[in-house]
């Protein structure tokens, strides 16, 4: 049987079908959570934003218009909430270095040295991503992990597709230099 689209589920939720919310949550929980962990660099902030984003989807369901893809709407909410939290905290919109390691699905059988190397590699990667400007970081993560097109990322960030292309390149160039 054909699965309903995200947009159809969102319209069903708008019409009062709570099961539609559960299905959307099931589809997007891991994606959004992973994005927020990588984007904020702070598991605690990511968890708060994760909850707030889905709550906002639920609360604002009546305002949803299927003009844009649900994923665009969801990630736009997540990013706006992050920017709001940064503004409230009075800190610049930069990546927060985590105090604890991120929760992750471990490799099946890594040895102690491999684990250490993996953790070091991840820490280097985290620092490299942390050094990116907020927009560049969002573009890189949405493009690399969400497989979003530049046009869709442009909608989320409120910038042109061309600007996304330039910034995506700038982000990868920075990472390339840092990961050398």
Residues contributing to the site for other proteins (CB under 8 A): 15-19, 21, 25, 29-30, 33-34, 37-38, 43, 46-47, 50-51, 54-55, 58-59, 102-106, 121-122, 125, 129, 140, 143-145, 149-150, 165, 168-169, 171-173, 175-176, 179-180
Residue with the two structure tokens 């949550």: 25
Q: Which is nearer to other proteins, 93 or 121 (CB)?
A: 121
CA 172 to chain centre: 17
Least distance to other proteins from the beta carbon of 84, Å?
Answer: 18
Query: How does DSSP classify residue 145?
Result: T
Q: How far apart, in whole angstroms, are the C-alpha atoms of residue 56 and residue 149?
A: 24
Least distance to other proteins from the beta carbon of 36, Å?
Answer: 9
Provide CB contacts within 8 A for 4, sequence distance 6+: 12, 20, 23
Q: Which is nearer to other proteins, 87 or 123 (CB)?
A: 123
Least distance to other proteins from the beta carbon of 44, Å?
Answer: 10
Least distance to other proteins from the beta carbon of 10, Å?
Answer: 15
Q: Which is nearer to other proteins, 65 or 107 (CB)?
A: 107
Q: Answer yes or no: are the C-beta atoms of 167 and 139 closer than 8 Å.
A: yes
Provide CB contacts within 8 A for 134, sequence distance 6+: 83, 93, 94, 95
């Amino acid at each position: 049987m054909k699965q309903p689209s995200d947009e159809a589920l969102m319209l069903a939720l708008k019409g009062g079908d709570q099961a539609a919310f559960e299905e959307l949550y099931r589809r997007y929980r891991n994606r959004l959570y992973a994005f927020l962990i990588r984007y904020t660099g702070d598991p605690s902030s990511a968890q708060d934003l994760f909850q707030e984003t889905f709550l906002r989807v639920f609360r604002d369901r009546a305002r949803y218009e299927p003009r844009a893809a649900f994923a665009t709407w969801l990630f736009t909410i997540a990013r706006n909430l992050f920017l709001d939290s940064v503004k409230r905290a009075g800190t610049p919109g930069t990546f927060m270095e985590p105090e604890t390691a991120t929760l992750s699905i471990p490799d099946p059988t890594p040895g102690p040295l491999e684990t250490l190397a993996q953790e070091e590699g991840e820490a280097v990667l985290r620092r490299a991503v942390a050094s990116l400007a907020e927009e560049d970081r969002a573009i890189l993560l949405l493009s690399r992990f969400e497989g979003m097109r530049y046009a869709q990322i442009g909608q989320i960030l409120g910038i042109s597709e061309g600007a996304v292309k330039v910034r995506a390149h700038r982000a990868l160039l920075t990472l390339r230099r840092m990961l050398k």
